[in-house]
Structure 1
Amino acid sequence: MHGDHGETERVPTAVNDVGTAVMDAAFAVHRELGPGLLESVYEHCLAQDLIRSGLSVERQIGVPVSYQGERLDVGFRLDLLVDRKVVVEIKAIDALASIHTAQVLTYLRFSQVRLGFLINFNTLRLQDGFRRLVL
């Protein structure tokens, strides 16, 4: 149901293009700032880079959960929603765990977005903290 790099064909080209812009911006932010800062700093800088590149970015948006036909505002928020096509969850932690992947997959499911990125900026090499998820 989900995966990473090999599933680009399951995502429309327009969505993959936004995803590529997110990846490029994330690597640029990490190159300039490096590890060790707060998630909020990375979130702000990544959002600014994406906005400068012409994309729309919504920050800290609530996503309601539907349960048995009832809409529940239970207070979970996605860090970034880019062009209403890509969810970005930002971390600045020692290591990603399976719960973080599950978190992004849940965000994708309830926001009805197919492509998401889980990015841990607290790594020496950003590719070690980067996960592409497709629902």
Structure 2
Amino acid sequence: MEITQKFINELTYKITGACIEVHKIAGAGLFENFYHECLKKEFEIISIKYKSELSIPFDYKGKMIDCKVKCDFLIEDLIVLEIKSVADINNVHRAQTMNYMNLLKVPKSILVNFNVNNIYHEGHETFVSKYFSNLNKT
């Protein structure tokens, strides 16, 4: 199967739907690790392949550095999902999510804050990398 922008966008929709489902059942205001565990179960239910708390390698001048950096989820080896449960998403969270996406060389990342009333309207942001632009649209 060819990976296209359309496929990535459809997968993004499914991931966001999974986050909304978890939020609908659990509500806002719980700790991040609670949502993380619920998302693992939800991804299994809807048959989305993921890696959880994936260590991100970093090549510094030709030497691999173990920086103990982990993204919350790498979905289908294509999309980084970073989850939060905070009062407000700020630029540090956005930078973290985009850096994970670029270090892993994947086309897209999603930042979700579970500490909101409505994830769809106020609790998620998506970012694309240069790898997304290089994909066919359909």
TM-score with structure 2 setting the length:
0.86
For residue 130 of structure 1, what is the aligned residue in structure 2? 124
Aligned residues: 125
Structure 1: 4+ residue segments shifted above 4 A: none
% identical aligned pairs: 26
Equivalent residue for 2:88? 95
- Asked whether the 8 Å contact 1:117–1:130 carries over to 2, the reply is yes
1:18–1:85 contact (8 Å) kept in structure 2: no
- For residues 36-55 of structure 1, what are the structure 2 equivalents within 5 Å? 36-55=29-48
Instruction: Give 1:118 deviation, angstroms.
Output: 0.5
**Matching of residues 1-135 of structure 1 within 5 Å:** 12-126=5-119, 127-135=121-129
Q: Distance in 2 between matches of 1:80 and 1:34?
A: 20
Amino acid paired to 1:128: E
- TM-score, scaled relative to structure 1: 0.88
Gaps of 5+ in 2: 130-138
Aligned amino acid, residue 12 of structure 2: G
Whole-angstrom distance in 2 between the partners of 1:52 and 1:85: 19
Q: Secondary structure at the match of 1:44?
A: helix
SS class of match (1:93):
coil
Segments of structure 1 that go 5 or more residues without pairing to the other structure are 1-10
Cα RMSD (Å): 1.1
